Amino acid sequence: MTKPVLVVGSLNMDMVVRAPRHPQVGETIFGTFFNTYPGGKGANQAVAIARLGVAVTMIGKVGSDAFGSELVRIASDEGINTDWISHEPNQTSGIALITVSENGQNTIVVVPGANAYLTASDLDSAHSAFEEAALVVLQLESPLETVLHAAELAQRIKIPVLLNPAPAQTLPLELLQQVDILIPNQHELLQISGQSEMDSAIETLLRLGVKQLLITLGEEGVILASVNQRLLIPAFKVTAIDTVAAGDAFVGALAVALTRGLSLKKAAQFANAAAAISVTRPGAQPSLPTQIEVRKFLKEHLH
């Protein structure tokens, strides 16, 4: 049996409204729809992996509220090993306020709540989860020192580390150097590198010691960049209605494909397919496809 992927990260309850457009500052507009969906970049990536048929363990924190119990139950129902997701006393669960406009674009405000209480010592307690993992997947909705500790633990026992540096923030060099594959979107790439255009941003990060970059470019696809390579893998043509969690679908599917031994190029194509399906559906976790759906999509879209 394939070893599980370990996801260290956030769980949020997403409060999603749809509106014809995003309001201006100081403006009130009418929306057309409201719903709550399970989300959080960590949980979304874990669900993406589980639906694609690979075992996944998650380390994270929820609050001591009703959302917290619901988020853990949903994760468990998806088949995720939730043994290392705990309830933080006296804290609310993470939430995200999301506005999706008619053209499918989104803005998100995240209040981390219990996610901010995931500590390095929580990871030490879950050492056995690191030891049995095939690879570790990280994002930046958990405290930076916890993310760094996760990368260090994984590197110490020689497990590959994938970091999706979202939401964007300045990263310590030691973190960048302990990551095997960094998967930013274009905005995150520029912010992390401190550069204003893509080529110099890629050069900067590679010079700082990032081994492999996969830069997601929305409807354009993804660029694979390393010292010896620059390669665009184009996205699949679909009609996007809600791009929330496109990046999470991509990262989860990439982890699955790499665990199964696919080349980086093939893995990126598989991830493009999973992410393309996700943008045609509303919500974060509800939009994430199964293995059967991705296989069917690839059959229909690859010639």
Applying CB under 6 A, the residues found at the interface with ligand ATP are 166, 185, 216-219, 221-222, 235-236, 238, 240, 243-248, 250, 272, 275-276, 279
Number of residues written out for the chain: 303
Cβ atoms 22, 77 nearer than 8 A = no
Q: What is the DSSP string of 116-147?
A: GG--HHHHHHTHHHHHT-SEEEE-SSS-HHHH
The one of ligand RIB, ligand ATP, none whose footprint includes residue 238, by CB under 5 to 8 A per kind, is ligand ATP
Q: CB-wise, 129 or 256, nearer to ligand ATP? A: 256
Q: CB-wise, 49 or 159, nearer to ligand RIB? A: 49
Q: CB-wise, 126 or 162, nearer to ligand ATP? A: 162
- Choices 152-160, 232-240, 244-252, 288-296; region in contact with ligand RIB by CB under 6 A: 244-252
Cβ atoms 192, 184 nearer than 8 A = yes
**Alpha-carbon span 111 to 114, nearest angstrom:** 9
Catalytic residue status for 248? yes
Per CB under 6 A, contacts with ligand RIB among 17-36 are none
Binding of ligand RIB at residue 163 (CB under 6 A)? no
Catalytic-role residue among 14, 65, 122, 248: 248
**Alpha-carbon span 159 to 132, nearest angstrom:** 9
Binding of ligand RIB at residue 244 (CB under 6 A)? yes
Binding of ligand RIB at residue 141 (CB under 6 A)? yes
Place of tokens 């995003």: 22
Q: What is the DSSP string of 58-95?
A: EEEEEESSHHHHHHHHHHHHTT-EEEEEEEETT-PPEE
Please tell me the count of residues contacting ligand RIB according to CB under 6 A.
15
Catalytic residue numbers read 248
